[in-house]
Structure 1
Amino acid sequence: MRSAFARSFELSAVTAAVGAVLGAAVAAVVAGSSPTSVLRRVVVAACGVLSQFAGVPLAFALVATIGLSGVVTQLLSGVGVDLYASGVWLFDTPGLVLAYTCFQVPLMVIVFLPALDGVRPAWREASLTLGGTHWQHFRLVSVPVLAPAFTGALLLLFANALSAYATAAALVSQGSSIVPLQIRRALSSDVLVGQQDLASTLAVGMVLVVAVVMGAQALVQRRTARWLR
């Protein structure tokens, strides 16, 4: 059970960090455009769809594109590039990292973009007027103001990855011991002696962890709201 939680925490932390960094970069580009621009509308609409694009559809899309017989795999194979030279990684933890990142990045854009919109241009103008540089404004004004929002979004992404089930169940059938799959295995297979309550124990542990993470996220969001009113 400990190893299952450790692997789930590791997977969630990695995908949350990657999703947060990439999503924040995309959100920063979008925030720099006009509120009525085509770029902003297209990116926000696409992220709204892709953040919910998980489970069996996402797993099928990955298998169809970069699976052993996927379109991209075959095209790269034709030019001498073997995606699976080091093993069949798509159906193991690296594949889960890629799959989770596909919906973590759009979610980060949706969550973090309002915080970036709350950073007022007047703050930058005041900083430059007082003799500050763009780097000083970014380091001493933007980063402290946006840090709570970024931290809150990071916690949200962690909880989102920790509780994800359908994508892992569709993509990885054997060999993974993350908590959601362990619960599925305990409920669907023969119960071993002394492990009758394993699924319930894992589920309660998941609920407690997610509750703590979301509670911390709510506290951080309070600070964000105070700064960006």
Structure 2
Amino acid sequence: MARRPRLRGGALLGTVPFFAYVAIFLIIPTLVVVIGAFTGDGGRGFTLDNVRGLGDEYIVAAFGRSIALSASSAVMGAVFGALLAYALVTGKPNGLLRRVVTAAAGVLAQFGGVTLAFAFLATIGLSGFVTVWLQEHGLDPYANGVWLFELPGLTLVYTYFQIPLMVIVFLPALDGIRPQWREAATSLGGSTWHYWTRVAGPLLAPAFLGSALLLFANAFSAYATAAALVSQGSPIVPLQIRGALTSEVVLGQANLGKAMALGMVVVVAVVMALYALLQRRTAKWLG
């Protein structure tokens, strides 16, 4: 039986920057959150008060709004992103249009934070050029309230970067669909409906659901865009955490903020575990 080649010290040394990066920006912050969630104010020993505080009505409501915001933006991003990805697949594999759109998707998927908030404010804000143009023509998009700074507005803004992210993660699954499968279905008398419901649909379903879960986790953990748009109030959990950590009015809530962060970690961990299971199933036929 042949022996497996051993990794040399040089190969292991090359992974040190990666593991150092993961430790500094992922493992250590997570440990700080977990320890802080079970520590009393001022570091006074072990306590469950912070975790019990997650049952407060305003925190439960914030988690509910965060989940609703993440789910709605994930569904919209998944549907429109999948349609755009399918349109790219039907074109030339190495065509100019596909290269331009995929490059733009790679950029726009990371286009968030203050820059994205400013772009929407300048476009459809209270004094945005689209808003002013509509008002000049007798249409007021804010006649029923300033929705841009509430959950509907956040959903629209989040969808802006969810759609290109969906294109990036779902495109490989669409590329894995073989044209011969459709030809085989047609030769056996199957219609387009039969092909999508019995062949392509079941194959793409795990990849589509997995991509939607990834979009949910992406929106659930987003902070900078909401922080730039919502100047008053804390409708979602990331903003509640900011208030607990930085509030000068209500002191002693830093560890409660860490407990809320721990709740977010648990939600994202569950979502990503489901995503990994679906990706494993997708990899069986992609491989």
Q: TM-score range by the shorter chain?
A: over 0.9
Superposed CA offset, 1:151-178 (max 9, x none):
1001000000000000000011213321
Q: Give the residue type in structure 2 aligned to 1:92.
A: E
Q: CA deviation at 1:228?
A: 1.8
Q: CA deviation at 1:196?
A: 5.0
Q: CA deviation at 1:146?
A: 0.0
Superposed CA offset, 1:55-100 (max 9, x none):
0000000000111111111111121111111111111111101110
Q: Is the alpha carbon distance of 1:124 and 1:38 closer, same or farther for their aligned partners in structure 2, counting shifts above 3 Å?
A: same
The residue number in structure 2 matching 1:55 is 113
Counterpart of 2:190 (choices 132, 140, 160) is 132
1:209-220 equivalent positions in 2, closer than 5 A: 209-220=267-278
2:127 matches 1:69: yes
SS of match in other structure, 1:173: coil
Counterparts of 1:220 and 1:74, CA distance in 2: 46
1:68-217 equivalent positions in 2, closer than 5 A: 68-190=126-248, 192=250, 195=253, 197-217=255-275
The residue number in structure 1 matching 2:70 is 12
SS of match in other structure, 1:84: coil
Q: Give the residue type in structure 2 aligned to 1:204.
A: L
Judge conservation of contact 1:93–1:176 (CA < 8 Å) in 2. no
Superposed CA offset, 1:176-202 (max 9, x none):
321100000101103747745210100
Counterparts of 1:93 and 1:154, CA distance in 2: 19
2:281 matches 1:223: yes
SS of match in other structure, 1:131: coil
Q: More deviation in 103-112 or 186-195?
A: 186-195
Q: Is the alpha carbon distance of 1:68 and 1:142 closer, same or farther for their aligned partners in structure 2, counting shifts above 3 Å?
A: same
The residue number in structure 2 matching 1:36 is 94
- TM (norm. structure 1) is 0.97
Show structure 1 runs of 5+ residues with no match: none
Counterparts of 2:212 and 2:237, CA distance in 1: 20
Counterparts of 2:148 and 2:120, CA distance in 1: 8
SS of match in other structure, 1:90: helix
Judge conservation of contact 1:24–1:109 (CA < 8 Å) in 2. yes
- TM (norm. structure 2) is 0.78
SS of match in other structure, 2:141: coil
Identity of counterpart residues, as a percentage? 63
Counterparts of 2:276 and 2:249, CA distance in 1: 38
Superposed CA offset, 1:105-145 (max 9, x none):
01001110110010000100111111111111111001000
Please tell me the root mean square deviation across aligned C-alpha atoms, in Å.
1.2
Q: Give the residue type in structure 1 aligned to 2:108.
A: L
Q: Is the alpha carbon distance of 1:59 and 1:196 closer, same or farther for their aligned partners in structure 2, counting shifts above 3 Å?
A: closer
Counterparts of 1:191 and 1:81, CA distance in 2: 41
Counterparts of 1:207 and 1:216, CA distance in 2: 14
Q: Give the residue type in structure 2 aligned to 1:110.
A: I
User: How many residues are matched?
Assistant: 229
